[in-house]
Amino acid sequence: MIGHLLKYVIIINGDDMDGILLIDKPAKMTSHDVVARLRSMLHIKKIGHSGTLDPDARGVLLVLVGKATKILPYLEDTDKEYIAEMELGKRTLSDDVFGEVLETKEILPIHDLSALASSFVGKQKQLPPMISSVRVNGRKLYEYARKNETVDRPLRDIEIYEIEVLDEAKMQFRVFCSSGTYIRSLCRDIAEKSGNLGCMTSLIRTKVGRFSLADCVTLDDVAQGHCPIHTINEALQGYPTIEYSPIDDIYHGKTICIPHSADMLAITHEGVIIAMYKRNHGSWFSCARGLW
């Protein structure tokens, strides 16, 4: 389990909770469903999540509770890790096996899946699936799809850091990638590069930033009172921290002077992050968000 900052809370009153709850989201449940279930169990209104996970996927979902809901903008670009499986022979509207089949084709053998997968490592442009929440002209792509409307999909900048084939027979692989990467689309593209049609058959998100599936609890665990809360400090560990004085300057939202090379700083008081500060000009930083 992660770090000495972790604290265990037996649920009495959710309003006393501030931090990150790591949930192993089950398949056949939306991220919104998970938040709604937790809101009911924890008796708290201030609750949200970072990084939507497809309904048919399972794995790490970061749930933000209380004051931690304020840090969402600072978690959105967090890198992810997944384990996925795919199959060849068909193309679907959603790029996974659960979507409408658009085309089928005889399967061509892939002689070196590892080499094929490894060719996708690096920065690249990716075409998102039609069944996705990517917005075009103010509407989400899945809204166009539901009405059988066509629209040009924007290519997205992504980066694949690592791909490791785990089981060639199952076409199962582990991928470590930038936020915003669609693994469904990656499966489609891997198949296409081999001369095949293909789609994803299963997906498990195993990591979000420094948090892994091993650190997660289930909804049943939470219902039984096992509710480990990770602190805001843990979630924002990737940012440089500065213990600033006089602290009243921070609480009053004043612009402050700090000689530092980073453009975003986490300001602490007695070791606890209380604000995020962004470079204004030179060595001057302005308050981006108070976290008290």
Please identify which of the residues 54, 95, 96, 215 carries the catalytic annotation. Answer: 54
Beta strands in the chain (DSSP E): 7-9, 19-25, 47-50, 58-65, 80-88, 90-92, 101-104, 122-126, 135-136, 139-140, 156-167, 172-177, 198-208, 211-212, 227-230, 241-243, 256-257, 264-269, 272-281, 284-290
Bridge partners of residue 62, in order along the sequence: 22, 50
Q: Indicate if 95 belongs to the active site.
A: no
Amino acid in the structure at residue 126: Q
DSSP category for residue 51: S
Separation of CA 18 from chain center: 20
Is the Cβ–Cβ distance between 229 and 15 less than 8 Å?
Answer: no
Query: 């909770």: which residue's tokens?
Result: 17
Residues that are catalytic: 54
